[in-house]
Chains A and B, each alone.
Chain A
Amino acid sequence: MSATPTGIGRRWLQWLALALSLTGCAQFVPQTIALRGDWPSGVPRAIELRDVPFFPQTAYQCGPAALATTMNAAGAQVLPDDLVAQVYLPARQGSLQLEMLAAPRRHGLVSWQIPPDYSSLLSELAAGHPVLVLQDLGIGPLRQWHYAVVVGFDYAAGDVVLRSGENQRQVMPFTVFELTWRRSDYWAMVVTPPGVIPANATQASYLPALLAFDRNATPQAARTAWQAFLSRWPGHALASLALGNRLYGERNLTGAESVLRAGIQTHPASTEMLNNLAQVLAEQGRNDEALGVIERAAAQPGSFAAEVATTRAGILQRMAR
């Protein structure tokens, strides 16, 4: 971008937009067209997240720069240079989408790929989350993948506002942006601190993001994330198990007990929750209760017969002492 004066770049984009709107080809920008009749509810017509910081990219490193932009907006203090060793592939001179999703977890942040549409992008911005997108800036059959961060839009003016490359405030028409974004199948992600759930998250789509986050998170960060998930979707089986395990890991046995009990109330046949509850009770010295719970687990047909048998044997051993 450095060789291109901004004014000229903008002018040709406007030209392209004009050409498109004249031909009126809905198949080129289906989502921009769809917005005309179906604006996402609760989203204002113009937003700009002015406080989102800017890190100009150095050679080939739009990935680390865009990632640093979103991560700092989510509260981490990290520079693009720190992220190079975490997402950059020297041989390919770029960064993979999956690694862009993985890296924020190493800094205590939750990353999530949002649904591939304008309406999700706009509502994430309305919720205050800048959106990291993958664009293809190439022409014709040539591909030129590029990461940038959408920080705002003005629908009346028809503009999308980005932090991109060396450009702190790049303004692009909705149509042109869609053309560049569409070739990545509308790939976009948000980064949030644990406890903040993205605007478009659903139980099923957000769960894998938290499971991935849980793998490397500190006990406290994981606990915060699962607590938020459970207050949004109470009684969820795997989330209850995960939070129970984190509390157990912190030796908060009564906390783990109450979370597991709440989960079991919704899912009475969950072998894994019954098993873990039995263990938690046994470690509090409540062996009789524990035995009752593990018997319930043993009565369930499930994948954890071996684990349940081990837990049961352990409880009986405690009782024999």
Chain B
Amino acid sequence: MKSVTMKMLCRFLIPAMLTLSLQTASAGIIATDQAAAVANAQPDRTLVLAALERNDIRDQLQAQGVDPADARARVAAMSDLEVRTLAGTIGTAPVGADATFLALVAAGVLVWYVFYRK
């Protein structure tokens, strides 16, 4: 029980600290991300949430077979908005893929074309 609580706490605190340290990288300057979050009517608190969502997406990418280091770099290239959009849809969003199925359909069309068209 205690370790679960601790784990939860750490899951929350570590990204929070990372986020805050990023945001206050140069004292006296308001960072672009910070201003953008406010411009989008998102209070500072959502920065922490965004860090948690990033971890979540990273885990989901790994669950889809992506190498852990790659998953981290892939999430880093996304904007907060993209991370939020992707949350929960990784397993269902369209994925552009190969045309193996198309080859089957084309074969079907070919049969139709040759034997039934006339």
Contact = CB atoms under 8 A, between A and B. Distances in A.
Given A63-B96, A89-B65, A90-B65, A8 B79 contact: no
A142 B30 contact: no
Range of interface residues on B (Cβ < 8 Å): 35 or more
B32 A211 contact: yes
A89 B31 contact: no
A208 B81 contact: yes
Contact of B61 (A11, A89, A101): A89
A97 B94 contact: yes
Contacts of A105: 77
Contacts of B109: 8, 12
B11 interface: no
Interface string A40-82: 0000000000000000010111110010000000000000000
B32 A3 contact: no
A62 B30 contact: no
Of B29, B33, B78, B103, the most chain A CB neighbours within 10 A belong to B29
Nearest to A138: B101
B39 A215 contact: no
Nearest to A297: B30
A86 B32 contact: no
A311 B31 CA distance: 13
B94 A143 contact: yes
B14 interface: no
B18 to A, nearest CB: 14
Interface string A12-24: 1000000000000
Given A238-B32, A245-B32, A103 B98 contact: no
Q: Give 7 closest A-B pairs by Cβ, nearest first.
A: A94-B95, A90-B65, A94-B97, A212-B79, A147-B96, A279-B28, A3-B103
17 contacts: A57-B98, A60-B97, A89-B95, A92-B95, A96-B94, A97-B93, A98-B85, A102-B74, A134-B94, A143-B94, A146-B99, A216-B77, A245-B29, A248-B26, A272-B34, A282-B28, A314-B28
Interface of A: 1-4, 8-9, 11-12, 57, 59-63, 66, 85-87, 89-103, 105-106, 134, 136-139, 142-147, 165, 184, 208, 211-212, 214-216, 237-238, 241-242, 245, 248-249, 272, 275-276, 278-279, 282, 303-304, 307, 310-311, 314
